[in-house]
């Protein structure tokens, strides 16, 4: 990849070439200018792993824990190291631009992409984002914090107008981006799909001017995929790159706008300059144009991901030291998430992992285990790919593409693939030597059930499909199609059929699929992704009453019991928000009855955002394990069996009920708009201001040891606040504690939060060890609020209280400092 002279090139480019540079070439690449030596550069998702260039049949990749899990570490050094690994993975996938981190604020529990983001708190989000970006950039890979700004729901995400006060916009939603830019100067940024106060983010000059003019950021501003909505307006506002390609809004339209003086040449040049600067910066990565995608999957990376996942786990309750378990004794493993590797949420953050470890496998490697299913947690039937076998006996199935449908005597075989993943999003699949989006796919594999029973099979499509077992039609998804949430909201709902199967008998499963042009639905999504997709699922139907009885019986027979429950990528995914905060059907009943049978049972939940826990008072041991990436099962086992002392802290508040959360009255699009009625009172700021109890507060997390804070000293200069204290490990084993520094104004001139997180530090101590800890806090960021009357940040004269603790609630060491004079500021 050549080092280019940007200003010299600007003078050599034709108008047509300049226009071409402002839009993508395809789904992942920018346009090249071969005659001038300007290469195409590659982008790739995403926040917790680098997928490469294909949703369909892509190169396997490292999958790190989800965003909220990373937020739960409260560990800047660890996040920095995560960035380094992601930078190396990006190089392996040939991508000099990484599309992450996601740093939108989790203003409500139901957001479909909430699991991607770090926190409800802007300071924690922005601080971790800065370290993430610095780590990636040390590998000479560019980062792309996203989505700028207020992209915190999936409902009507392309159209919804977020109505938000200037103060909330500044203090809550822009703050993570502001802090990331101040710390790391990321080279790229991605705009949001939604409108902000009446104008789509990609053409919103108000917020883009904050980014470019006020903050002085000079990077590449790209749209989210299909998130460009105009030609002239977006160019004038400052959107450099429309993604993906081929262009919808630029090309001939932009050429005409320039030649008719709707867009002045110097404005176009500014957009082109940003793209060329990104190409120049990409050359530092050493990644060649159209690089081959490689796998790393190094042993040291596997151990690191295992460590990250374990350090993200939050011990919510541990009465009478139920945990850790004794690994020399039998453990009853129960529940819907036990034998499923729930490694990530769905959508852009998802990828094909190198491997994924289930909690059952993680526990089985370290102790004697007895198992009972208890319930299912899937929203759609579990993917069948790994349960199928090809005609040659390989794990997976055959995928054959044809030019004509089944039954046509003239059909020609275009391609044949061996696949293991039966979620087949073919939007970026290129059929060899074939250019039409219309083609037909035969899926074929052998399914051998492990038990007698009635089996359900499901078919979700963007297109049309039929599923057969031994030639018998079981599922038809052709006529009367209804839109669902799959394939970023462009697919149908899952159609299900049933058949009785016999244990050990092989059955031939076939699916006839027609790509998206064959779709019959009258309720089509506004955005159609390429040639569509096909999802094939299935499992034995479970009698929930009997399954729970079996689980309860096992729980009563074994002293050590753990129930694995929670959500998965069906429930938390890009394209749709969660309909409620509850666990999947039968999970609460299963947990409650197991706890009645064995009150010492430990409950482990996997989700990216809060769930309701009507049985929480009965649970003596409760663990929040998030989506833990490749090593999720091993990491959970490490914590449950005491190999790792948990140190995670909740990066978001867990409400008792959905009705208790601050955005309850103002979530989802209503006639095209959503009112941010909670204003600055997001997350713990809301609960504390209203004195409303939470199930578990922001910053909460226990340990297998105990800590004591003492000897607080607070001092301040014109620029910084120094917080010094002694931290002692008063327990019997090594562990880590997160020291959290909160600040509040004693006598503010307007309503402010009771307190706000302004500093934190993770401290690791051996049993009986103590350490002197100092946390330095930026004074102007710690004291300011946005003064809407002055369009500036204000630092008010007066006394400020400093509260130092290990959670947003509980006991604190208290100190204070003074601000002598009121003053205002802008910028970073």
Q: Which residues are catalytic?
A: 224
- Phi/psi for 274 (5° steps) reads -65, -40
- CA–centroid distance for 807 within its chain: 24
CA distance 598 to 94: 52
- Residues 144/100, Cβ–Cβ less than 8 Å: yes
Residue by residue, DSSP assigns 464-513 as EEEEEETTEEEEEESSS--B-SHHHHTSBPPEEEEEEE-TT--EEEEEEE
CB neighbour class for 444 (10 Å; exposed up to 12, middle 13-18, buried from 19): middle
Give 408's contacts (C-beta < 8 A, 6+ positions apart): none
Residue by residue, DSSP assigns 372-387 as E------SSPPB-GGG
Q: Measuring CA to CA, how many Å separate 571 from each of 387, 578, 582?
A: 22, 6, 11
- Residues 736/764, Cβ–Cβ less than 8 Å: yes
CA distance 621 to 729: 22
- Residues 147/190, Cβ–Cβ less than 8 Å: yes
Of 273, 275, 232, 238, nearest to 255 by C-alpha is 232
- CA–centroid distance for 162 within its chain: 21
**Residue that the structure tokens 């075989």 belong to:** 413
- Phi/psi for 141 (5° steps) reads -115, 140
Of 644, 586, 564, nearest to 369 by C-alpha is 564
CA torsion sign, 752 to 758 to 764 to 768? Answer: negative
Residue 299 CB neighbour total at 10 angstroms: 7
Buried/exposed code over 105-138 (b: 16+ C-beta within 10 A; e: otherwise): bbbbbbbbbbbbbbbbbbbbbbbbbbbbbbbbbe
- Residues 259/20, Cβ–Cβ less than 8 Å: no
- Phi/psi for 756 (5° steps) reads -135, 140
**Residue that the structure tokens 């610095």 belong to:** 134
Give 486's contacts (C-beta < 8 A, 6+ positions apart): 380, 460, 462, 492, 494, 533, 535, 575
Of 70, 68, 67, nearest to 46 by C-alpha is 67
- Residues 242/234, Cβ–Cβ less than 8 Å: yes
Q: Measuring CA to CA, how many Å separate 716 from each of 599, 710, 743, 778?
A: 50, 19, 13, 10
Give 15's contacts (C-beta < 8 A, 6+ positions apart): 255, 258, 259
């Amino acid at each position: 990849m050549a080092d280019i002279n940007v200003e010299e090139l600007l003078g050599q480019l034709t108008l047509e070439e300049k226009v071409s540079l402002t839009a993508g070439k395809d789904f992942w690449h920018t346009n090249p200018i071969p005659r001038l030596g300007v290469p195409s550069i590659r982008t790739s998702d995403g926040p917790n792993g680098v997928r490469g260039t294909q949703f369909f049949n892509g190169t396997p990749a490292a999958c790190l824990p989800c965003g909220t899990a990373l937020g739960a570490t409260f560990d800047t050094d660890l996040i920095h190291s995560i960035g380094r690994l992601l930078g190396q993975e990006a190089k392996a996938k040939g991508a000099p631009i990484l599309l992450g981190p996601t740093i939108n604020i989790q203003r409500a529990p139901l957001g479909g992409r909430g699991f991607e983001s770090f926190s409800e708190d802007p300071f924690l989000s922005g601080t971790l984002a800065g370290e993430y970006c610095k780590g990636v950039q040390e590998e000479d890979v560019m980062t792309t914090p996203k989505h700028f700004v207020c992209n915190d729901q999936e409902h009507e995400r392309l159209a919804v107008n977020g109505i938000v006060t200037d103060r909330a916009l500044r203090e809550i939603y822009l703050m993570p981006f502001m802090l990331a830019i101040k710390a790391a100067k990321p080279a790229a940024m991605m705009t949001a799909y939604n409108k902000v106060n009446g104008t789509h983010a990609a053409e919103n000059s108000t917020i883009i001017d904050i980014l470019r003019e006020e903050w002085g950021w000079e990077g590449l501003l790209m749209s989210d995929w299909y998130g460009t909505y105009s030609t002239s307006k977006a160019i004038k506002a400052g959107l450099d790159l429309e993604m993906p390609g081929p262009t919808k809004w630029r090309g001939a339209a932009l050429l005409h706008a320039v030649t008719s003086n709707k867009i002045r040449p110097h404005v176009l040049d500014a957009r082109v300059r940003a793209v060329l600067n990104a190409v120049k910066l990409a050359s530092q990565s050493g990644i060649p144009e159209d690089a081959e995608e490689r796998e790393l999957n190094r042993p040291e990376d596997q151990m690191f991901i295992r460590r990250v996942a374990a350090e993200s786990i939050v011990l919510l309750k541990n009465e009478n030291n139920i945990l850790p378990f004794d690994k020399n004794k039998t453990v009853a493993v129960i529940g819907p998430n036990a034998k499923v590797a729930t490694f990530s949420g769905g959508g852009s953050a998802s990828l094909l992992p190198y491997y994924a470890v289930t909690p059952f496998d993680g526990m089985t490697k370290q102790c004697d285990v007895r198992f009972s299913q208890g319930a299912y947690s899937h929203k759609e039937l579990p993917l069948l790919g790994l349960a199928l076998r090809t005609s040659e006996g390989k794990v997976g199935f055959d995928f054959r593409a044809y030019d004509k449908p089944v039954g046509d005597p003239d059909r020609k075989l275009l391609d044949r693939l061996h696949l293991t993943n039966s979620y087949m999003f073919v939007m970026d699949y290129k059929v060899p030597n074939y250019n039409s989006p219309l083609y037909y796919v035969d899926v074929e594999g052998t399914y051998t059930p492990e038990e007698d029973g009635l089996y359900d099979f499901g078919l979700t499509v963007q297109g049309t499909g039929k599923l057969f077992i031994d030639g018998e039609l079981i599922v038809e998804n052709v006529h009367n199609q209804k839109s669902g949430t799959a394939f970023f909201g462009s697919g149908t709902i899952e159609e299900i059929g049933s058949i009785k199967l016999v244990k050990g008998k092989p059955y031939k499963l076939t699916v006839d699929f027609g790509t998206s042009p064959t779709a019959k639905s009258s309720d089509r999504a506004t955005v159609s992704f390429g040639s569509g997709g096909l999802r094939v699922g299935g499992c034995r139907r479970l009698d929930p009453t009997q399954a729970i009885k079996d689980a309860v019986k096992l729980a009563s027979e074994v002293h050590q019991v753990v129930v694995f429950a929670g959500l998965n990528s069906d429930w938390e995914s890009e394209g749709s928000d969660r309909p409620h905060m509850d666990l999947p059907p039968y999970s609460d009943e299963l947990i409650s009855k197991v706890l009645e049978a064995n009150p010492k049972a430990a409950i482990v939940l996997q989700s990216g955002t809060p769930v309701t826990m009507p049985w929480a008072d009965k649970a003596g041991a409760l663990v929040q394990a998030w989506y833990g990436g490749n090593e999720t099962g091993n990491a959970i086992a490490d914590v449950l069996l005491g190999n790792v002392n948990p140190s995670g802290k909740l990066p978001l508040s867990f409400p008792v009920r959905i009705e208790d959360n601050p955005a309850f009255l103002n979530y989802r699009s209503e006639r095209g708009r959503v009112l941010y009625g909670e204003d600055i009172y997001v997350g713990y700021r809301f609960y504390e201001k209203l004195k409303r109890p939470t199930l578990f507060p922001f910053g909460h997390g226990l340990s297998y040891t105990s800590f004591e804070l003492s000897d607080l000293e607070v001092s301040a200069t014109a620029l910084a606040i120094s917080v010094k204290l002694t931290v002692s490990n008063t327990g019997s084993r090594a562990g880590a504690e997160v020291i959290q520094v909160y600040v509040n104004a004693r006598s503010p001139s307007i309503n402010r939060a009771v307190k706000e997180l302004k500093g934190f530090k993770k401290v690791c101590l051996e049993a009986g060890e103590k350490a002197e800890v100092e946390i330095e806090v930026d004074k102007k960021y710690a004291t300011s609020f946005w003064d809407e009357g002055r369009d500036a940040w204000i630092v008010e004269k007066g006394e400020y209280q400093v509260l130092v603790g290990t959670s947003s609630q509980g006991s604190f060491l208290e100190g204070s400092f003074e601000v002598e004079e009121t003053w205002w500021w802008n910028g970073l």
